Amino acid sequence: MSPQISAWAADQLAAARERIAPLVADRSAGVKPRLERVLAAFAAERLGVHHFASVSGYGHGDQGRELLDRVFARVLQAEAAAVRLQFVSGTHAIAAALFGVLRPGDRLLALTGRPYDTLEEVIGIRGSGQGSLAEFGIVYDELDLLADGTVDEAAIAEALALPTRMVLIQRSCGYSWRPSLSVAQIGRLVERVKALQPGCLVFVDNCYGELVELSEPTAVGADLMAGSLIKNLGGTIAPTGGYVAGRAELVEQACCRLTAPGIGSEGGTSFDLNRLLFQGLFLAPQMVSEALLCADLVAAVFDRLGFAVKPLLGGPRSDVIQAVRLGEPALLKAVCRAFQACSPVGSYLDPVPAPMPGYASELLMAGGTFIDGSTSEFSADGPLREPYVLYAQGGTHRAHAELALERALVALEQGGLLPVG
Ligand SMILES: *Cc1c(COP(=O)(O)O)cnc(C)c1O
């Protein structure tokens, strides 16, 4: 049962709770405009119970799927969207977008430094290269981030001196110690790119960012974006899947890659699971708000203990991730172990560093979630590499994060792992 919570741990948590109090009101108020947008989309598209079932087999003419696509497009402020359970993950949705749009000889330029781990193999800059964009003759370059982790805006013109079919912008920090990009910043980058090369497409990896701000990258000129349904927009109940959203012709190109040319967005059953996708979207504004408050709580606790946290408590957020620079593998293990022990599923498991398909470093993961791998439920992980940063994200209720943090505090205290001072 519950471990002894020391008076010290209880004090730390009480102090953290007090520090996030001003954010609670703001974040709670932020749910309303987002939910309003979701409800307006349901109303405009006349969502009814008959949209919950789906057509089996080919899935041709599936009204639920078609309505879901239009609802997502409205919520994401995009011309079109495709929401599919056939997307295995966010990586798959992003890969479909890249392979769907890019052609041999095209140049892809990452504006936000090295992309998320799993995209390295998609692009062909790590691993065997088999089936990668590189193997299909797509030229890849990246613009390094500045030392402070921001985009090197002064170097964009030079980086775009060559004809470029697409730039890639990663909104979230991913597994790197850098600030996430705000939607306004993304909008400014879109302007810069279009001024330099009007025909260059802007693609945004929108993972973890959805609904955190009031608008999405597609509202500020991004041509195409993609993300996962077991993150923000699935509202913790979508069983799997991903989405692409943006200009209609580009969404269709991504779908032609997902299914086949000629089928595009018009096939693919939803296995009678449409209700979960609609309901997940309905819950998403609330879940994202709770996840942000869980992130605030993690920041407050570790900041008080003297660890560097990113973003800073009360600083702007553009995604649901809270990074904590723990600095030592023993600390990363202790915290992940404590979080795992407080997970609803698999609490008895001891997280050990393990290789993950698509990732370069071994990953330590604490995620006893109902949906496997879901990071909109409270979870934390970190690649086992310097500087041993813990990335915490998700959380359906603050109480869960509090319990997990209490246990982590006790583990650090009892293990003699706290920084001196
Ligand atoms: C989660 C994530 C992805 C995709 O990851 P999957 O685990 O494949 O869904 C891509 N980019 C970023 C920045 C992410 O956070």
In three-state secondary structure terms, 298 is helix
In the chain, the domains with their CATH numbers are 7-33+284-414 (3.90.1150.60), 54-281 (3.40.640.10)
Confidence class for position 357, pLDDT limits 50, 70, 90 = confident
**β-sheet bridge partners, residue 224:** 203, 246
Q: Is the C-beta atom of 172 inside 6 A of ligand 1? A: yes
188-191 CB contacts, 8 Å cutoff, 24+ apart: 189/111, 189/151, 189/153, 189/156, 190/220, 190/221, 190/222, 191/221
- What was the pLDDT predicted at 420? 60
Please tell me the distance from the alpha carbon of residue 116 to that of residue 24, in angstroms, as a whole number.
30
Confidence class for position 419, pLDDT limits 50, 70, 90 = confident
In three-state secondary structure terms, 342 is coil
Confidence class for position 355, pLDDT limits 50, 70, 90 = confident
Please tell me the distance from the alpha carbon of residue 404 to that of residue 148, in angstroms, as a whole number.
31
Tell whether the model's pLDDT for residue 1 goes beyond 50. Answer: no
Identify which of 203, 187, 204, 110 has the alpha carbon closest to the alpha carbon of residue 152: 110
- What was the pLDDT predicted at 32? 98
Please tell me the distance from the alpha carbon of residue 162 to that of residue 104, in angstroms, as a whole number.
16
Q: Is the C-beta atom of 228 inside 6 A of ligand 1? A: yes
Bond preceding residue 311 cis, omega within 30 of 0: yes
Please tell me the distance from the alpha carbon of residue 30 to that of residue 136, in angstroms, as a whole number.
44
- What was the pLDDT predicted at 421? 52
Concatenated DSSP letters of 164-218: -SEEEEE-S-TTSSSPPPPHHHHHHHHHHHHHH-TT-EEEEE-TTTTTTSSS-GG
168-213 tens-digit pLDDT? 999 999 888 999 999 999 999 999 999 999 999 999 999 999 999 9
378 alpha carbon, distance to own chain's centre: 13
The interaxial angle of helices 274-304 and 7-45, nearest 10 deg, is 150
Mutation test of ligand 1: which of 88, 114, 172 has the most ligand atoms closer than 8 Å to its C-beta? Answer: 172
The interaxial angle of helices 7-45 and 63-75, nearest 10 deg, is 120
> Which atom from ligand 1 is nearest to the alpha carbon of 208?
15
Please tell me the distance from the alpha carbon of residue 396 to that of residue 232, in angstroms, as a whole number.
11
Task: Sort strands 80-84 and 107-110 into parallel, antiparallel or unpaired.
Answer: unpaired
Q: Is the C-beta atom of 311 inside 6 A of ligand 1? A: no
Tokens of 311: 């973003």
Query: Quick one: CA dihedral 259, 263, 266, 267, positive or negative?
Result: negative
Confidence class for position 387, pLDDT limits 50, 70, 90 = very high
317-342 tens-digit pLDDT? 999 999 999 999 999 999 999 999 99
Q: Kindly give, in sequence order, each residue whose CB lies less than 8 Å from that of residue 128, ignoring residues fewer than 6 positions away.
A: none
Mean pLDDT score, 290-318: 97
Q: Is the C-beta atom of 203 inside 6 A of ligand 1? A: no
Mutation test of ligand 1: which of 117, 205, 230, 240 has the most ligand atoms closer than 8 Å to its C-beta? Answer: 205
Percentage above 90 pLDDT, the chain: 90
99 Cα: distance to centroid of ligand 1 (angstroms): 17
Q: What is the pTM of this model?
A: 0.96
Tokens of 285: 């504004």
Confidence class for position 3, pLDDT limits 50, 70, 90 = low
- What was the pLDDT predicted at 367? 87
**Per-residue DSSP letter, 247:** S
101-144 tens-digit pLDDT? 999 999 999 999 999 999 999 999 999 999 999 999 999 999 99
What is the helix (H) or strand (E) element at residue 294, kind and residue range?
A: helix 274-304
217-230 tens-digit pLDDT? 999 999 999 999 99
Please tell me the distance from the alpha carbon of residue 310 to that of residue 292, in angstroms, as a whole number.
13
Mean pLDDT score, 294-309: 97
Q: Is the C-beta atom of 359 inside 6 A of ligand 1? A: no
